[in-house]
Amino acid sequence: MKTLTRQPGSESVFVDSERIERSILLIRGVKVILDADLAQLYGVSTKAFNQAVKRNNDRFPDDFTFRLTKEEKREVVTNCDHLQRLRFSPVLPVAFTEHGAIMAATVLNSDRAIKLSVFVVRAFLKLREMLGTQKEFAHKLGELETKFAEHDKKFTVVFQAIRELMQPTVVPPKRRIGFAAPREDKV
């Protein structure tokens, strides 16, 4: 979905909100956007973006940013088509958490960065909401599994009882009623 943002007296910016959502990756159990994607969104080169971040290093604690390892970079480049340009880069990408992405917009201090930071925040919120929905669904599914597992046990007992009822019962020979004369061969 393309969204057009307009501010009076400023340029309009087209934003592909789905593109922003696809840029959010799960690395080390944290949702992040890589420096290359943020730089592209904010309309600056990755080098200029990282220089601005480096000049304001005190604004980016470890829970806002971290540098990917070689293995993480390889995995990201392999799994994300839009990051193929990073394949031959000697520099390891920097990952920005939600708070780091917002802080990056403040250090760039351009109109475009400020406008787009709103879309980045909304994309993170949408993913958080979707994750919450999935957790709720997983919980309900677990409850159903437990309930049906209990019913399965009950059905197993019912089927076992039915099978037992289907087995022919052995009826012992009945004794005849009345007086029986002794047989001659027994005398």
12 confidence band (pLDDT: 50, 70, 90) = very low
Angle, helices 111-166/35-42, rounded to nearest 10 degrees: 130
Please determine, for residue 171, whether its predicted confidence score (pLDDT) is greater than 60: yes
End-to-end CA distance of the chain: 108
Kindly report the pTM of this predicted structure.
0.55
CB 67 within 8 A of CB 94: yes
CA angle 59, 60, 66 (to 5 degrees): 170
- The widest CA-to-CA distance across the chain, in whole angstroms, is 130
Please determine, for residue 166, whether its predicted confidence score (pLDDT) is greater than 80: no
DSSP SS3 for 65: strand
pLDDT, tens only, 117-151:
666 777 777 777 776 666 676 667 677 667 766 66
Domain locations in the chain as residue ranges: 2-136
Please determine, for residue 1, whether its predicted confidence score (pLDDT) is greater than 50: no
The pLDDT of residue 7: 39
